[in-house]
Structure 1
């Protein structure tokens, strides 16, 4: 068989190699990884799971470790503009040639074992990290934790950011069930950082049963607003992997570089992971503060400027939409129109309910390039109306038509909020780069 030549061809080929776009389970991907020799992706591995905040947490870790002078790889998903965004080595995206070469190695090793698109990408990232001889690899969990392809690697420390209701057909319909799945990235005797003060029993109980060392926001570490920024600290005498009696760790931060009500907690969890691993990675509070201040992450309440102002965000489930609502409430009021769409497996009514009357008008489009997960504009609008029967909703052919209509309908001092699926954020960013 002739193998694909280009990255685009490889990605199209991968879509056909498994009957389902999502097929959780570790047996197939672990067999292929072992056939590839199962090399260690780095001397130290940190896995990051959770419903929301994973990408931001990885970005904070990456920036802090690189400011410290370490060689770091980061694997995240999905991407906004280019598939290459998913695999970064020393903050540089993997090029097409490297990804294609990794895919060819995977294809030779897998034989007749079917792999999903995500599993190909995960294996490719692990191979490229191993080849790069990294000091630290940061692995974002794609979906859940226990059965996600990333979980073939035993992380030296793991983070669970938040637990919300999402992917219920795979993870369960309540926070305890979802928490138990997320806890699957924990390992016995190794730190698991819980980056939320609202932790369901299913998560903490399963992690404790696995023998993980739990580090909890608000108990083992904290982040508190100061007059001139934030202070992250651990309490004196905290147990587990935290300081010995009388030892207090603290990091003073300026205003955080990423907006959003959850970002302080994401920073706190990232710092807690590095503190727990300090004997392996060292501890450099000033470097970490500089790293945090340097983070820029597209699509997270990203202000693209213009008149009216254009904000882009990837909030695509009710928990993320609630955070978006809190951010809107903290801003000076202006008339806000939304450009919105989401995939078929998302709780679109729940997203609408979280935002409610904060959105004066919804400009809705479909997502037609996502296979079975896509929806047309009418279906998106129908789901929104389940929660917002009186809402003003317009249907548009695509995201660019929706954006043009929103801009035309608003006064110069208004706000366009383009959010939902990564498909929406990516399409807006491609056509509307940030203004200087």
Structure 2
């Protein structure tokens, strides 16, 4: 018999081995343990599902509600470095001891019921939130929606950010099949916010069939704006002269719109002023997505475009083990703290491939090169130099150069603006087709 775990890492190791499947779709087991735990919330619960944009939307909801002075619990997955990142209370990552106490409670309540790692930890974090006396709880769906462990809680408002092809082995191979799975988080008579501008018919039909209060982008809420600011228009309220969200990305206005629609639907229970919304959008942060692509040399994609995200990336790079050389492909917007990003990462990088980006507000590669030299990075640019700085017109050219120079045991870290990462991803697609 295995000894009872006492530390978070011991618990996590045990949970990884406890259930025969990593993913076991279905709610019957989870619901039994939920009932044994007496798990229920007195405060509003917002559940957020979708293929892309879930993390951003959750982060915006949390940020705005915190600016409103509310006590907020946020559950997201997966984590980047530490498991604790999955649970935040009042904007702070929870400690090991808090999680261990909840793991013990779930273990005591589950009896003979077998739970996956995700199911067990989801129930534990929900119980932590239930006991914390919160004003609002935000739950990010792990996979799909209908059969995801998060869905054992009836959300007061459910958001589906986007529907695209992903996790086909569990959710189906078409947007229609996947849309039906995502729609499973909707509840009769309760707001169902759809941020996808072109949602699958299956998602809309399911919402209508169960009698959910369906909010569709363009029909029930929308946005307008120019380069400086944007406006939200909902069913019964407008929010004008908003700054762009602190999360920069192609779909962040869609995500922000869905978040504001969810908050409009809850306005009687969680009222928010204009300034609280503005501040929440401006201050929102989301840790970088550390993605290591298969193959050699190792390629890491991370939208780390501020010093905080760069610090996370730095820690992750440090944890990866030894690589003879690290090549960085880096491009960023001029309004970013580029010197701060460099300070976090300069000790991990041997060869800098700096790139221009196709936006007027992007920093020029040549200007970033000067900042590197100001930070004490003084390479020589001969072909066999141990360190180098080179400038390129676009991410694809920077990536091609790094690929041509990197040995198979080296690594290439792509970071900065989402445009940097997107450009390299496009280059890789053409490389393999």
Asked if these proteins are the same fold (TM beyond 0.5), I'd say yes
SS at match of 1:196: coil
The answer to which of 249-258 and 84-93 deviates more is: 249-258
Structure 1: 5+ residue stretches without partners: 235-241, 313-326, 336-354, 365-391, 408-413, 421-436
SS at match of 1:16: helix
Q: Superposed, which structure 2 residues align to 1:221-240 within 5 Å?
A: 221-234=221-234
Structure 2: 5+ residue stretches without partners: 290-302, 311-326, 333-355, 367-393, 426-433
Contact residue 308 and residue 415 of structure 1 kept, 8 A: no
Q: Whole-Å Cα distance in 1 between the matches of residues 150 and 407 of structure 2?
A: 38
Matching residue of 1:258: 247
The C-alpha deviation readout for 1:65-120, integer Å capped at 9, x for no partner, is: 11111110000000112110100010111100010110011111111211111111
Q: Superposed, which structure 2 residues align to 1:33-432 within 5 Å?
A: 33-40=34-41, 42-234=42-234, 242-243=235-236, 248-299=237-288, 301-303=303-305, 310=330, 330=359, 360-361=399-400, 396-397=408-409, 401-403=410-412
SS at match of 2:22: coil
Give 1:259 shift. 1.0
Give 1:298 shift. 1.6
Contact residue 64 and residue 292 of structure 1 kept, 8 A: yes
**CA distance change for structure 1 residues 37 and 362 in 2, over 3 Å: closer, same or farther?**
farther
Give 1:228 shift. 2.1
Give 1:334 shift. 6.8
Q: Whole-Å Cα distance in 2 between the matches of residues 7 and 208 of structure 1?
A: 43
Q: Whole-Å Cα distance in 2 between the matches of residues 225 and 219 of structure 1?
A: 17
Q: Whole-Å Cα distance in 1 between the matches of residues 184 and 97 of structure 2?
A: 34
**CA distance change for structure 1 residues 151 and 250 in 2, over 3 Å: closer, same or farther?**
same
Give the TM-score of the pair, scaled to structure 2. Answer: 0.72
SS at match of 1:159: strand
Give 1:216 shift. 1.2
Give 1:393 shift. 11
**CA distance change for structure 1 residues 311 and 73 in 2, over 3 Å: closer, same or farther?**
farther
Give 1:214 shift. 1.0
Contact residue 67 and residue 291 of structure 1 kept, 8 A: yes
**CA distance change for structure 1 residues 90 and 128 in 2, over 3 Å: closer, same or farther?**
same
The C-alpha deviation readout for 1:158-199, integer Å capped at 9, x for no partner, is: 100000100000000000000000000000000011112111
SS at match of 1:193: strand
**CA distance change for structure 1 residues 363 and 177 in 2, over 3 Å: closer, same or farther?**
farther
Contact residue 176 and residue 201 of structure 1 kept, 8 A: yes
Moved over 3 A (4+): 304-312, 327-335, 355-364, 392-397, 414-420
RMSD: 3.1
Q: Whole-Å Cα distance in 2 between the matches of residues 126 and 201 of structure 1?
A: 32
Q: Whole-Å Cα distance in 2 between the matches of residues 228 and 168 of structure 1?
A: 39
Q: Superposed, which structure 2 residues align to 1:4-15 within 5 Å?
A: 4-15=5-16
The answer to which of 133-142 and 220-229 deviates more is: 220-229
Q: Whole-Å Cα distance in 2 between the matches of residues 196 and 183 of structure 1?
A: 12
Give the TM-score of the pair, scaled to structure 1. Answer: 0.71
